[in-house]
Amino acid sequence: MHKLLLYIKGYEKQALLAPLFKMLEACFELFVPLVVASIIDTGIKNADAVFIWQRCGLLVLLAVIGLTCSLTAQYFSAKAALGFGTALRKDLFRHIDTLSYSELDGIGTPTLVTRMTSDINQVQNGVNLTLRLLLRSPFIVIGALIMAFSISPHLTLLFVAATVIISLIIWLIMRSTVPIYHQAQNGLDRVTLLTRENYVGARVVRAFARQADELANFVETNDHLKSIQIKAGRISAMMNPLTYLVVNLTVIALLILGGREVDTGNLTQGEIIALINYMSQILLSLLRLADLVISVTRALASGMRVNEILNTRTSMPDPQAPTLAPVAGSPAVAFDHVSFTYRGAGAPSLTDVSFIAQSGQTIGVIGGTGSGKTTLIDLVARFYDATEGSVRLFGHNVKEYSFAQLRQLIGVVPQQAMLFTGTIRDNMRWAAPHATDEEIWAALEIAQAADFVRSKPGMLDEPVETAGRNFSGGQRQRLTIARALVPQPKVLILDDSASALDFATDAALRKALKEKTQGMTVFIVSQRAASVQRGDHILVMDDGNLVGDAPHAELLKACPVYKEICLSQLSKEEVEKTL
């Protein structure tokens, strides 16, 4: 946790001055009851008009100084908190950029987004609140106790007792409501779940005419939530009445015990009023402190979550090597007895895989879900490091390349066709910031996307909405293929990226890839036998093992897994027709 405190760097002065000025303000506030006491005891008793004016002038002066201090403190704390938040955000963003796929898988990107946004905002708020208020309340409580002591050491015991009892009440109520609020949150989550479920599944619910049952279920969940909330409300409703009771009982005690002191001349009338004032200041501060503790606890929890990410170290630092030249005569990609196990997984996802892909070849990769197809190609691009064996690219181990060169050599089209807000041109330049329009159009042609891009009013300047919503699934896929082609990579990986294309477009795409990308090694990963069958050779994956590595016709004869896949998708005659 203390690591996060380092982000206050550059704003130490503000972070120190803010609570200091807050304390000053509190000091001036603590003087007010004393001044009022003196007005009563001296001004009124002696009918001294000048004294009264002076003292009231003093009250106004105290208010002005208090305001100044307070504004200064607010300014410094805003400066410090925002400076802190900005630095933390910047660093976290950079840190996320160093994490490898293994770490990203472990953490999950959705939670990274929440930590980056709402968690950091919470922490920033927490810093602001802490600087401004957290120190103020204890200071007022202690200050008021000291002031009370200076007026009457005897009666201070009463103050201490009241303070302890009030703190205890607040603590007990908070402690007993926290788990109930937790339950209520779970109840609310369940309400959200049911709502989402019924909205998304409206077709099925109606198809089976279960609307009434769903409603009954929802009512039951809601009633449950209601009873929890009422229970929590019943307890927290005691906070104000109880503390009010304690404070005013103390006031009664002050009046009676104080009356005795006044009677014996140890105390004045004005001082009694001052003591009552201090008592109410203590109560207000403690109640505010309780609110604050809740917010700060929340900020601490957020801080912990942010810290967790910052403490995650990348398992794959950038080698930052100079650009490597390809070794003459070496294959584009070579796997040598490669095995791979995902972090935390019990069983390997790839076991002892060896194959060679020559420059310019088209390699099909086929197999069922979970058979290791994606894992295989992720190792080519070094998104993960092989657990055993080596992956070589143009004669060098992939670990020897700098990330920059590696990304240049390999173009990836991931399964999910994801586009980014901006224009089509922006998206096409993702991997090649300086690509010309000609290069972009050439890539679009190959990806079978040129036609529909041309038909858009803005052409390359056509805006792309969040996640490419304004394009159909098939269009998105073709654009992501073009995006990978723009920098003219030496190796292109299509990871099941033609699933939304109809057969005709799929075939045209494969044809264009073959004809227009001389020397490019293409990996086509697919579940469709038709998509891979014309590869120079096909890698057949089954449960992490490479069970076939040959052209289509040979595999049909020799590889039972491949044959099974083909026959599940095509009839016997059709399979024969492909030969």
Partner 1 sequence: MSKPHTKLNRSTIQRVLALIRPYAGSVALTLTLAVITVFTTLLAPVISGKAVDLILGPGQVDFAGLGKLALAMGVTIFCTAVAQWLMNVVNNRITFQVVRDIRVKAFEQLEILPLKYMDAHRPGDAISRITTDVEQFSDGLLMGFTQLFTGVLTILGTLGVMISIDWRIALVVVALTPLSIFVARFIATHTYSMFKVQSETRAEMTSLVEELVGNEHLVRAFGYESRAEARFDRINLDLQKCGVRAVFFSSLTNPCTRFVNALVYAAVGVLGAFAAIAGSLTVGELSVFLNYANQYTKPFNDISDVMTELQNALACAQRVFDLIDETPIVPDAPDAAVLPMGAGSVAFEHVKFRYVPDVPLIEDMNLRVWPGQRIALVGPTGCGKTTLVNLLMRFYEINGGCLKVDGRSIDTVTRDSLRANLGMVLQETWLKSGTIAENIAYGKPDATREEIIDAAKRARAHSFICRLPNGYDTVVAEDGGNISQGQRQLLCIARVMLRRPPILILDEATSSIDTRTEVLVQDAFEELMKGRTSFIVAHRLSTIKNANQILVMKAGNIIERGTHDELLAKGGFYAQLYESQFAKA
For the segment 115-174, give every residue that binds partner 1 (CB under 8 A).
116-117, 121, 128, 132
What does the DSSP assignment read for 301-319?
HHHHHHHHHHTPPPSS---
Q: Kindly state whether residue 259 participates in binding partner 1, applying the rule CB under 8 A.
A: yes
Question: Closer CB to partner 1, residue 329 or residue 466?
Answer: 466
Q: How far is the CB of 381 from partner 1 (least distance, A)?
A: 7
CB-based burial, 251-264: b 16+ in 10 Å, e otherwise: beebeebbeebeee
Smallest distance from the beta carbon of 43 to partner 1, in angstroms? 5
Span 270-329, contacts to partner 1 by CB under 8 A: 270, 272-273, 276
**Neighbour-count burial for 408-442, b at 16+ CB within 10 Å, e otherwise:** bbbbbbbeebebeeebbbebbbbbbeebeeebbbb
Q: Could you say whether residue 20 binds partner 1 (CB under 8 A)?
A: no
Burial class (CB in 10 A: 0-12, 13-18, 19+), 350: buried
Stretch that binds partner 1, among 2-10, 102-110, 346-354, 552-560 (CB under 8 A): 102-110
Residue of 5, 168, 178, 204 that binds partner 1 (CB under 8 A): 204
Spatial contact of 351 and 545, defined as CB atoms under 8 Å apart? yes
Q: CA-to-CA distance for 115 and 151, rounded, in angstroms?
A: 51
Among 31, 218, 342, 355, the residue binding partner 1 under the rule CB under 8 A is: 218
Question: In 3-state terms, what secondary structure has residue 498?
Answer: coil
Candidates 93, 304, 343, 458: give the one binding partner 1 (CB under 8 A): 93
Q: Does 496 bind partner 1 (CB under 8 A)?
A: yes
CB 239 within 8 A of CB 172: no
CA distances from 466 to 142, 469, 485 (A): 54, 6, 22
Rule CB under 8 A: say whether 468 interacts with partner 1: no
The C-alpha atoms of residue 555 and residue 579 are separated, in whole angstroms, by: 11
Question: Which one of the spans 93-101, 144-152, 160-168, 351-359 is the region binding partner 1 (CB under 8 A)?
Answer: 93-101
Q: With binding defined as CB under 8 A, does residue 265 bind partner 1?
A: yes
> φ and ψ at 130, to 5 degrees?
-60, -50
- DSSP class of residue 384? S
Angle, alpha carbons 443-449-454 (nearest 5°): 100
Gap between the Cα atoms of 187 and 195, Å rounded: 12
Shortest distance, position 288 Cβ to partner 1, whole Å? 11
Q: Name which of 161 and 327 has its Cβ closer to partner 1.
A: 161
Stretch that binds partner 1, among 157-165, 291-299, 447-455, 497-505 (CB under 8 A): 497-505
Examine residue 104 and tell whether it contacts partner 1 (CB under 8 A).
yes
Chosen residue from 6, 157, 168, 245 binding partner 1 by CB under 8 A: 245
Q: Looking at beta carbons only, is 91 or 336 nearer to partner 1?
A: 91
79 binds partner 1 (CB under 8 A): yes
> How many amino acids of this chain bind partner 1 (CB under 8 A)?
158
- Considering all CA atoms of the chain, what is the largest pairwise distance in Å, rounded to the nearest integer? 119
For residue 156, the minimal CB distance to partner 1 (Å) is 18
Contact between 44 and partner 1 by CB under 8 A: the answer reads yes
Q: Which residue among 18, 26, 30, 36 contacts partner 1 (CB under 8 A)?
A: 36
Which residues ranging from 425 to 464 are in contact with partner 1 (CB under 8 A)? Answer: 430-431, 433
Distance CA 299, CA 309 (A): 16
Secondary structure class of 345 (helix, strand, coil): coil
Q: Which residues contact 406 (CB under 8 A, 6 or more apart)?
A: 381, 382, 393, 398
Which segment (94-102, 138-146, 320-328, 440-448) binds partner 1 by CB under 8 A? 94-102
> For partner 1, which is the closer residue by CB, 3 or 90?
90
Smallest distance from partner 1 to CB 337, Å = 26
Q: Which of residues 27, 34, 149, 197 is near partner 1 by CB under 8 A?
A: 197
